[in-house]
Amino acid sequence: VGVGLVGLGVVGTGLAKVFAEHGADIDARLGFPVRLVHVADIDLARDRGVDLSRVARSTDWKEVVANPAVDIVVELIGGTGVARDVVLGALAAGKSVVTANKALLAQRGAELDEAAERAGRDILFEASVAGTIPVLRALREGLSADRIKTLHGIVNGTCNYILTQMEEHGESYAGCLKRAQDLGYAEADPTADVEGHDSANKLAILLGLALGVRASVKDIPTRGISSIEAIDLEYAQRFGLRIKLLAVAKRAQGGIEARVEPTMIAESSVLARVSGSMNAIEVVGELSGPTLYCGAGAGALPTASAVMGDVMELARSLRVGAARRVPSLGTVALREQPLLRSQDVEGEYYLRLWVLDEPGALHAITGVLGRFGISIASMLQPEHHHERSVPVVFLTHMTKESELRSAVAEIERLASVRGAAQVIRVEREL
Tell the smallest beta-carbon distance from residue 139 to a second copy (Å).
9
Tell the smallest beta-carbon distance from residue 334 to a second copy (Å).
11
Region of 159-167, 182-190, 203-211, 318-326 interacting with a second copy (CB under 8 A): 318-326
Is 127 or 351 the residue whose CB approaches a second copy more closely? 127
Residue 296 binds a second copy (CB under 8 A): yes
Residue 4 binds a second copy (CB under 8 A): no
3-state per-residue secondary structure call for 170-232: CCCHHHHHHHHHHCCCCCCCCHHHHCCHHHHHHHHHHHHHHHCEECCHHHCCECCCCCCCHHH
Classify residue 31 by burial, with Cβ atoms within 10 Å: 0-12, 13-18, 19+.
exposed
Backbone angles phi, psi at 112, to 5 degrees: -65, -45
Residue 25 binds a second copy (CB under 8 A): yes
Q: Which one of 31, 68, 254, 359 is in contact with a second copy (CB under 8 A)?
A: 31
Region of 69-77, 328-336, 343-351, 414-422 interacting with a second copy (CB under 8 A): 328-336
Q: Which one of 181, 288, 402, 406 is in contact with a second copy (CB under 8 A)?
A: 288
Contact 293, 280 (CB under 8 A): yes
User: What's the chain's length in residues?
Assistant: 430
Residue 304 binds a second copy (CB under 8 A): yes
Secondary structure of residue 346 in the 3-state scheme:
strand
Residue 302 binds a second copy (CB under 8 A): yes
Strands 376-380 and 346-356: unpaired
Region of 151-159, 327-335, 343-351, 420-428 interacting with a second copy (CB under 8 A): 327-335
Residue 324 binds a second copy (CB under 8 A): yes
Residue 342 binds a second copy (CB under 8 A): no
Residue 295 binds a second copy (CB under 8 A): yes
- Separation CA 306–CA 18 (nearest Å): 11
Residues 6+ apart with CB under 8 A from 218: none
Residues 6+ apart with CB under 8 A from 86: 6, 61, 65, 73, 75, 77
Our CA angle for 291, 296, 297, nearest 5°, is: 90
Residue 133 binds a second copy (CB under 8 A): yes
Residue 291 binds a second copy (CB under 8 A): yes
Residue 326 binds a second copy (CB under 8 A): yes
- Separation CA 8–CA 16 (nearest Å): 8
Classify residue 161 by burial, with Cβ atoms within 10 Å: 0-12, 13-18, 19+.
buried
Tell the smallest beta-carbon distance from residue 393 to a second copy (Å).
26
Residue 152 binds a second copy (CB under 8 A): no
**Interactions with a second copy, residue window 343-402 (CB under 8 A):** none
Tell the smallest beta-carbon distance from residue 318 to a second copy (Å).
10
Is 134 or 262 the residue whose CB approaches a second copy more closely? 134
Tell the smallest beta-carbon distance from residue 308 to a second copy (Å).
3
Classify residue 120 by burial, with Cβ atoms within 10 Å: 0-12, 13-18, 19+.
exposed
Residue 255 binds a second copy (CB under 8 A): no
Residues β-bridged to residue 248: 152, 259
Residue 35 binds a second copy (CB under 8 A): no
Q: Which one of 69, 174, 183, 322 is in contact with a second copy (CB under 8 A)?
A: 322
Residue 37 binds a second copy (CB under 8 A): no
So which residues are the catalytic ones? 202
Secondary structure of residue 338 in the 3-state scheme:
coil
Tell the smallest beta-carbon distance from residue 171 to a second copy (Å).
20
Region of 174-182, 224-232, 311-319, 386-394 interacting with a second copy (CB under 8 A): 311-319
Q: Which one of 191, 237, 268, 375 is in contact with a second copy (CB under 8 A)?
A: 268
DSSP single-letter state for residue 108:
H
Residue 331 binds a second copy (CB under 8 A): yes
Residue 246 binds a second copy (CB under 8 A): no
Classify residue 418 by burial, with Cβ atoms within 10 Å: 0-12, 13-18, 19+.
middle
- Kindly determine how many residues on this chain lie close enough to bind a second copy according to the rule CB under 8 A: 64
3-state per-residue secondary structure call for 24-83: HHHHHHHCCCCEEEEEECCCCCCCCCCCCCCCEEECCHHHHHHCCCCCEEEECCCCCCHH
In the complex, which residues of this chain contact a second copy (CB under 8 A)? 18, 22, 25-26, 28-31, 126, 132-134, 137-138, 141-147, 212, 268, 270, 273-274, 280, 285, 287-296, 299, 301-302, 304-306, 308-309, 311-313, 316-317, 319-327, 330-333
